[in-house]
Structure 1
């Protein structure tokens, strides 16, 4: 587990994007579904997900022949970093949904790659898949409810 701090530090990149591009007044004012979690819950969820995905990556990275799996993990981190800037920064709801859909595919690919090396690591990625599914549904719902706020 000596690699865990490294992978957790890498998760600071998308976390920093989330700090830089906050929901703000724009998000407060748009129409959201009743099943939208309160804003204070998002950092808690992301903290748990970052710890789990970092533990999973550390487990897999310690094994031989896992370059592709760790490459996929890195890809999902890069994609995740984009979303806050696009959705909250640029107010591009549909583009945000496309990013989440790509992120979901990258997380699925990472989970399957991890599964071929370490079942526990793959299971640690499953909450992220669930969260990605929820986040995509939420993003699409917000996009549909706010056609006047849509710029692409």
Structure 2
């Protein structure tokens, strides 16, 4: 694995993760009714740090391999959708609208897992925790929307 490629992928993950700092959950989120399976607050940074390290490892392993086009496309797509979800859910408070981002995110993570696995077993395996986490996140997203139908979305002009 090329350490410079790993650093580039990790930097991309850091950029995606920065949306969490730009759009923190805030007091409105704490007031939401949450499903019983909501992880504790400390689990989110632990999970995302672990996931970012793992998928950076996966990207760096696969980036140098022949025939990596689909794997790299899925890697980039999942990063884009992961970056977009936070501002839609936390920034705009669009609980239902964020599902339109979550669905392709989940599919892109699955696509990344499969295409990375086809090229490198360890790279594919590195995406398994991410797929599990995004599956839980999707279920949380659906339940938050169902349990909190009266959340008023923020209009972009009022940000």
TM-score category of the 2 structures, normalised to the smaller one? over 0.9
State TM-score, norm by structure 2. 0.91
Instruction: Look up the match of 2:106.
Output: 104
Between the aligned partners of 1:102 and 1:32, the Cα distance in structure 2 is: 23
- 1:125: Cα distance to partner? 0.3
- Tell me the SS of whatever aligns to 1:149: coil
Say whether residues 1:118 and 2:120 are aligned partners: yes
The two structures have a TM-score, normalised by structure 1, of 0.95
The reply on whether 1:89 has 2:85 as its aligned counterpart is no
5, 8, 26: which one pairs with 2:10?
8
Residues 93 and 150, structure 1, Cα contact 8 Å, conserved in 2: no
Q: Find the aligned partners of 1:135 and 1:50 in 2 and give their Cα distance.
A: 16
Task: Structure 2 unaligned segments of length 5 or more: list them.
Answer: 155-159
* 2: CA distance, partners of 1:126 / 1:37: 18
The separation in 2 between residues aligned to 1:32 and 1:6, in whole angstroms, is 36
- In the alignment, structure 1 segments of 5+ residues that lack a partner are none
Aligned-pair Cα RMSD in Å = 1.3
Per the TM alignment, residue 98 of structure 1 is displaced from its structure 2 partner at its CA by: 2.2
Q: Distance in 2 between matches of 1:35 and 1:116?
A: 33
Please state if 1:24 is matched with 2:26.
Answer: yes
Could you tell me how far apart the structure 2 residues matched to 1:61 and 1:146 are?
A: 42
After superposing on structure 2, the runs of 4+ consecutive aligned residues of structure 1 that deviate more than 6 Å are: none
Structure 1 residue aligned with 2:45:
43
1:130 corresponds, among 132, 135, 148, to 132
